[in-house]
Amino acid sequence: MTRKYNFSAGPAGLPDEVLLQAQEELLDWHGKGLSIMEMSHRSKEFVSVAETAEQDLRDLMGIGSNYKVLFLQGGATTQFSMIPMNLLRGKNTADYINTGIWSKKAIKEAARYCDVKLAGSSEENGFTAVPSQDQLILNPEAAYLHYTPNETIGGLEYDYVPEAGDVPLVADLSSTILSRPLDVNQFGLIYAGAQKNIGPAGLTVVIVREDLLGNVVDGAPTMFDYKVHADADSMNNTPPTFGWYLAGLVFQWLKAQGGVEAMAELNQRKAEKLYAAIDGSDFYANPMAKANRSWMNVPFTLADDALDKLFLEQAEEAGLLNLKGHRSVGGMRASIYNAVPEKAVDALIEFMQQFEKQNA
Ligand SMILES: *Cc1c(COP(=O)(O)O)cnc(C)c1O
């Protein structure tokens, strides 16, 4: 068996150690004679798995007791609707910052529920830099301010946390959660689909300040009310048990690696050497403002896009998988989440340099 290097944007690679542990426990979880997948979510065994996962995430991110941590389904995309449905709290307007495809999707959905005001946009610079705090036009009457800390497709990441005063800050952390330290207290709500930096697809994590709960719009489906999930410890119905369990294994793995501080150091090193290789050549290019280059998703183009196909074929032969850029952008994209080891980035850089030598 050979594990290849996986640069998928999502569902993304998982740590080998986590997959091996899941394999070992698959048929007989902790001597119970059955798989975790086959257990009642209300069994004391699963409840302990669920509680441990939540506590480990709380430890890793320093989440205070005034926040609820929810383990939901529906992906980050469902959060695009749940956020306005729950956080408008009688107001009729919310602020959004547009930095790319994911923020646009969030804006489009929110516009079904309220008057969306653009607090800032990267449109003028072709989505290559995020607006600075000074450039933001914040509405004190907004129910919340929504932004996308890392645009997974464009490869654009904020180098600061927007300050919105008393207006709750909402962040789509799908592709950057747990990649570096963050002060949760600056946020009203954080959400992330699990399939990038947490675990398998099918699980969505929401971290929400308790005082924001209990104001869902009239007529909202029960399953779209955060308070229902918070009151039921995310077990109002059957939760995604296997995803929750695997996320828990990833959280334990992260703790063993030294937590988010250690991951940040590693992630920064991985990203810097890949960008240095791109910048150091006339053959590869990345157009993002240096301060806003994503540590997690590194898009790059080849000097001649007629070579894209050959690049991808030869990369695959070299054991480097899923480097094709998003269909809306083209070119290449290397997603280098927590679970992608530094030696995978080294192998990619070596391959890129060889490919350039042969084809430039
Ligand atoms: C992948 C992604 C989404 C969509 O996630 P789903 O779980 O597929 O709904 C939303 N926002 C960001 C930033 C993403 O990277």
26 and 69, same structural domain? yes
345 and 199, same structural domain? no
318 and 175, same structural domain? no
31 and 106, same structural domain? yes
Q: Give phi and psi for 133, each to the nearest 5.
A: -55, -40
User: Using an 8 Å Cβ cutoff, are 15 and 253 in contact?
Assistant: yes
Smallest CA separation from ligand 1 atom 10, residue? 76
Catalytic: 102? yes
Identify which of 152, 179, 190, 206 to mutate to test ligand 1's pocket (most ligand atoms within 8 A of the CB).
Answer: 152
Other Cβ atoms less than 10 A from the Cβ of 32: the count is 13
Domain that holds residue 326: 259-359
239 and 144, same structural domain? yes
pTM exceeds 0.95 for this model: yes
State the CATH number of the domain containing residue 284: 3.90.1150.10
Residue 3 domain-assigned (yes or no) = no
State the CATH number of the domain containing residue 246: 3.40.640.10
309 and 286, same structural domain? yes
The catalytically annotated residue of 29, 102, 244, 295 is 102
User: Using an 8 Å Cβ cutoff, are 7 and 322 in contact?
Assistant: yes
For ligand 1, what atom is nearest to the CA of residue 153? Answer: 15
Domain total for the chain? Answer: 2
137 and 285, same structural domain? no
172 and 266, same structural domain? no
Catalytic: 295? no
Ordered per-residue pLDDT tens for the chain, 360 residues: 789 999 999 999 999 999 999 999 999 999 999 999 999 999 999 999 999 999 999 999 999 999 999 999 999 999 999 999 999 999 999 999 999 999 999 999 999 999 999 999 999 999 999 999 999 999 999 999 999 999 999 999 999 999 999 999 999 999 999 999 999 999 999 999 999 999 999 999 999 999 999 999 999 999 999 999 999 999 999 999 999 999 999 999 999 999 999 999 999 999 999 999 999 999 999 999 999 999 999 999 999 999 999 999 999 999 999 999 998 888 999 999 999 999 999 999 999 999 999 998
137 and 34, same structural domain? yes
214 and 65, same structural domain? yes
Please say which residue of 256, 278, 298 terminates a domain: 256
Strands 284-285, 297-302: pairing is antiparallel
160 and 74, same structural domain? yes
Among 317, 355, 299, smallest CA distance to 4 is for 317
The catalytically annotated residue of 95, 172, 253, 270 is 172
For ligand 1, what atom is nearest to the CA of residue 194? Answer: 7
User: Using an 8 Å Cβ cutoff, are 6 and 319 in contact?
Assistant: no
* Residue bearing tokens 């069994």: 43
Residue 70 domain-assigned (yes or no) = yes
CA 199/CA 95 separation, integer angstroms: 30
User: Using an 8 Å Cβ cutoff, are 42 and 238 in contact?
Assistant: no
Q: Is 254 helix (H, G, I), strand (E, B) or coil?
A: helix
Q: Is 336 helix (H, G, I), strand (E, B) or coil?
A: coil
Q: Which two tokens stand for residue 344?
A: 């995978």
Catalytic: 290? no
Among 165, 249, 163, 190, smallest CA distance to 64 is for 190
